Structure 1
Amino acid sequence: MSAEKPPLPFVYTFMAGAIAGVSEILVMYPLDVVKTRVQLQTGKGTGADQYNGMLDCFRKIVKNEGFSRLYRGITAPILMEAPKRATKFAANDKWGKFYRDLFGQAKMNQSLSVLTGASAGATEAFVVVPFELVKIRLQDKASAGKYNGMIDVVVKTVKSEGLLAMYNGLESTLWRHILWNAGYFGCIFQVRELIPKAETKKGQTINDIIAGTIGGTVGTIVNTPMDVVKSRIQNSPKVPGQVPKYNWAWPAVATVAKEEGFGALYKGFLPKVLRLGPGGGILLVVYTGVMDFFRQMRDGENA
């Protein structure tokens, strides 16, 4: 991550990103389930299928479906997290080097951090789309009896909608990841520049928590509208002869805003920001710690 530290081979970056991603999802996954449920809700009302906010959603899921439902669909994200987070950090490192060389910069700056993050997000999006589609369809209560698990979602989706349906929502996912990663990595760079340099390992961990949490929060503020429409696009099965209501990202944003109001574009924001704010801190702390561990191993071998 830091330009001042010697680079490590790609395999180390990949492994560190994977470990960081799985650590984050094991802690924060229930918030993702709640976020998806709220985002898929298109109306207002009462009853077990309608939620008046994050806490109401938590309460109704646990009461009506059982606590384990908060972890429904976690297999797909866990399988996704390793390549997803590994790709995020590895691509960020690779794109960072590419842009530094391209623009003749010895070190990262704010503009390059935003550009690098956006490029890493676009790269990451191609990896995660099929996993995201499976996760969204398993998390939706309306499909609880339709699928028996991750493999069943894949088989039924491919059979009824075709193989390319696994990449439904690619465009909106690209926008979501470009915006989040640009905000995340751009803020990490800026915060690290503004706060005092750490003199101890504990101080470095605190700085990483602060930088990662602020980065995750800003990224979430920027990309939530795209996350809302992505969830709806991926949860809309393709029917021959019919044009889906939610198909392309920006027209879907306009449709949601027109029919439900601008605030609907931020449905699920609270559980999302509570996950990705602190989650961004967890990611950065674990990633930095694992990379430092790998550096120590390498230095020990070379001693």
Structure 2
Amino acid sequence: MSPIGSGKSKHSESGYARMAGSGCAGILELVIFHPVDTVAKRLMSNQARLFVPGAPVAQGMANLNTVLFKNAAEQSVLSRYLSLFPGLGFAAGYKVLQRMYKFGGQPYVKDYLDTNHRDTFARLFGDKTGKTIMHATAGSLVGIGEVALLPLDVLKIKSQTNPESLKGRNIFGIVRDEGLGLYRGGMWTAARNAPGSFALFGGAAFVKEYLCGLSDYSKATFLQNFFASIGGAVASITVAAPLDVVKTRIQNKPFDAPESGMSIISKMVRNEGMGAFFKGLTPKILVVGPKLIFSFTIAQQLIPFFHGIFEGQGITQTKPIV
């Protein structure tokens, strides 16, 4: 994606390049990391203790096996692995559209802020910090708008954690029957996405600005993009973790038995303690985090790559940013 700095006499990547690069990143992420995402969602949705004090470790492992693989828990290794791909169609639609929207859309918002409000950010935060905050703010605004994709996310999570609620129903029937119910948890999703996306793009910009010493982020090397993605991803996952758990539990409830976010929070505090808000954080950082690092890095590399191809073939013709 190559976040756009404030330097002059350079080109902004074309819209085609942004969509192609971020879309390819989403497809590659889906193929490689969907099973990992299923594991994290099932761990976050589980409300029972897996390893009970005083109980044999083998019993805890058996509990973990059941939570992760559900009906395939006693089947072969291959069957258990394939059971981590429920709702792949929903996941494909959601993940590719999400990455195209977020990684391809953030630069447009950043361009707008850079063109119209650069002086304001510089006056409030200084030149270097202002540029970092501008990237973070653009990410946050895009993250809030991501709520539009919520129905696909809801269906993906239900297929991963509560597949019985979708059994025997096609996408058109679900949309007809549930309507706005598919946007259940929308406010919580926006509340999670705003700080999460702020931390993702702001963290990446911070690494490029202060650790890599880049004034023009589009000139970042692969390793610089990689390390910037690590900083942004870890910050984003950690900041968004509490609301992500609440959002997931709202969305995996049966369609006919919804529960409010405040009710879920109350039960979590009463029955599971404050640590419940960070359930799944460690596997998410260690296992799910790499998928965000992967897709963020790949998008930042592929967008300039596609831009060069499209410009070279005359498909697009962008003008310098002034």
Q: TM-score, normalised by structure 2?
A: 0.78
Aligned to 2:74: 64
CA–CA distance in structure 1, aligned partners of residues 269 and 298 of structure 2: 38
Are positions 1:110 and 2:112 aligned together?
A: no
Distance 1:253 1:113, change over 3 A: farther
d(CA) in 2 for partners of 1:69, 1:154: 24
* Pairing 1:96–2:110 present: yes
Give the number of the structure whose alpha-carbon radius of gyration is greater.
2
**Cα displacement (A) at 1:56:** 8.3
Partner residue, 1:24:
29
1:75 aligns with 2:92: no
What's the CA shift string for 1:49-72, capped at 9, x where partnerless?
943xxx885577864352201111
Structure 1 residues 221 and 267: CA distance shift in structure 2, 3 A: same
Quote the Cα distance in structure 2 between the aligned partners of 1:60 and 1:147.
16
Q: State how 1:29-40 maps to structure 2 within 5 Å.
A: 29-40=34-45
Choose which of 127, 143, 155 in structure 2 pairs with 1:134.
Answer: 155
**Using a 3 Å threshold, how does the CA distance of structure 1 residues 145 and 60 change in structure 2: closer, same or farther?**
closer
Distance 1:252 1:144, change over 3 A: closer
| Cα gap change, 1:109 to 1:237, in 2 (>3 Å) | same
Aligned to 2:199: 183
Count of paired positions: 287
Give the letter aligned to residue 24 of structure 2: I
Aligned partner of 1:2 in structure 2 is 4
**Which amino acid letter does the alignment assign opposite residue 258 of structure 1?**
R
- Alignment gaps of 5+ in structure 1: none
Residue 138 of structure 1, CA deviation: 0.9
Q: Which moved further from structure 2: 271-280 or 167-176?
A: 271-280
Contact 1:147-1:153 within 8 A present in 2 as well: no
Gaps of 5+ in 2: 51-58, 215-219, 318-322
Other structure's SS at 1:70 match: coil
Paired amino acid for 2:92: I
| 2:54 aligned residue | none
Match of 2:289, as an amino acid?
Answer: G
- 1:171 is aligned to 187
Give 1:122's aligned residue: 144
What's the offset of the Cα at 1:37?
Answer: 0.9
CA contact (8 A) 1:92 1:116 kept: yes
2:103 and 2:296 in contact (8 A); partners too: no
Shift of 1:275: 3.9
- AA of the residue aligned to 2:268: V
Q: How far apart, CA to CA, are the structure 2 residues paired with 1:182 and 1:237?
A: 31
Aligned equivalents of 1:235, 1:145: Cα separation in 2: 11
Shift in alpha-carbon separation, 1:97–1:255, aligned structure 2, 3 A: farther
Q: Per-residue displacement from partner, 1:199-231 (whole Å, max 9, x unpaired)? A: xxxx81111111101211110000011111111
For 1:16 and 1:272, the matched residues in 2 are separated by 25
Whole-angstrom distance in 2 between the partners of 1:41 and 1:20: 30
Letter in 2 for 1:11: Y
What does 1:188-199 align with in structure 2 at a 5 Å threshold?
Answer: 188-196=204-212
DSSP-derived class of the 1:175 partner: helix
Change (3 A) 1:29 1:134: same
Following TM superposition, by how much is the alpha carbon of 1:274 offset from its aligned partner in structure 2, in angstroms? 2.6
Say what the alpha-carbon RMSD is for the aligned residues: 3.1
Report the CA distance shift for 1:154/1:217 in structure 2 as closer, same or farther (over 3 A): farther
Highest RCO, 1 vs 2 (Cα 8 Å, sep ≥ 6): 2
Q: Contact 1:134 / 1:154 at 8 angstroms: preserved in 2?
A: no
Residue 258 of structure 1 is matched in structure 2 by 270
1:74 to partner: Cα distance: 2.0
Deviations 1:214-267 (A, max 9, x none): 21111000001111111111122354xx7x43x23x664344223311110111
Answer yes or no: is the 8 Å Cα contact 1:229–1:253 preserved in 2: yes
Whether 1:288 aligns to 2:288 is no
Cα distance change on mapping 1:156 and 1:79 into 2, 3 Å? closer
- One-letter amino acid matched to 1:284: F
